[in-house]
Structure 1
Amino acid sequence: MSIRDIIEGKKEWRAHVARVKALPKDYQIVYKEMQKYFFKVGPVELTDGTDLLSGIVDLFEEGAAQGKDVLDVTGSDVAAFCDELIKDSDTYADIWQEAADQEVNRAMKMSQDKRK
């Protein structure tokens, strides 16, 4: 990654943050909670760009322009809304589950081998 790419990425992120700050306060609150959710358990691809987050801002800008309450846009279960957005993506939670399953399977196999 070149210096130019880093600078361009920062410009894009700053523009994104400015769009979020321009949203009504209730939309900003829900967006920030969704962002935290995605950063904790969300799609692995999120680290490569902001397409998902930009899409949410697009949706929120449209909802705000129509005078909708943010929960009319997302539904009352915001976590379920987030899960639906990433349902076909690999998540960190999936990776952790797979690693835990592999570790248990390996431990069980070793235990069975010792009994033989």
Structure 2
Amino acid sequence: MSDAEKSGFISKVIGPKKRWRAYKARVKELPENHRTAVEAIERYLMYFVPTEGDSTESMLEDLADLFEQAVVDGTPIREIVGEDPVEFAEAFVQNYSEGGYVPARARKQLTDALTRATGEDTGKADKAV
């Protein structure tokens, strides 16, 4: 393997890893309820991960952008995702890929996680911080 080939391989491995870590650091900075919502959507979207390299990273970075802006604007989670988080996630992913098969269990997990994040199951109000 030539030096150029090694360099290309290393950048392919490190690049996505670096972007992933940066994305995770951004999500970690979100208020707890927004972070919970993003992590639930992320888990759900992993069923739709495109095969094209940058699409996945771009999709997750855009998700972080959306929720960071919502925090700044004071936008409640339900105003972002609506009443059906599965519908939101599936519409969101359509910008990045053709999508894939999502089992009913994953749909229920996403819906339940967003219900918890918005405080609907505990009576807590969804408030941006």
Task: Identify the residue that residue 22 of structure 1 maps to in structure 2.
Answer: 29
* Alpha-carbon separation, structure 2, partners of 1:5 and 1:22: 27
2:102 corresponds to 1:90: no
* Alpha-carbon separation, structure 2, partners of 1:45 and 1:65: 32
Report if the CA contact (8 A) 1:35-1:53 is conserved. yes
Which of the two has higher C-alpha Rg?
1
Report if the CA contact (8 A) 1:27-1:70 is conserved. yes
* Alpha-carbon separation, structure 2, partners of 1:60 and 1:32: 11
* Alpha-carbon separation, structure 2, partners of 1:78 and 1:53: 16
> What's the TM-score, normalizing by structure 1?
0.68
Counterpart residue identity of residue 18, structure 1 = A
* Residue 9 of structure 1: how far off its partner (Å): 2.2
* Residue 47 of structure 1: how far off its partner (Å): 5.8
Q: What stretches of structure 1 move > 3 A for 4+ residues in a row?
A: 45-49
Report if the CA contact (8 A) 2:27-2:64 is conserved. yes
User: Runs of 5+ in structure 1 lacking a partner?
Assistant: 95-116
Q: How many residues align?
A: 93
Structure holding more helix per residue: 1
* Alpha-carbon separation, structure 1, partners of 2:25 and 2:71: 15
Q: Please, what is the CA RMSD of the aligned residues?
A: 2.2
Identity of aligned residues (%): 27
User: Runs of 5+ in structure 2 lacking a partner?
Assistant: 1-7, 103-129
> Deviations 1:17-69 (Å, cap 9, x if unpaired)?
000001111111111111111112x2434765311111111110100001121
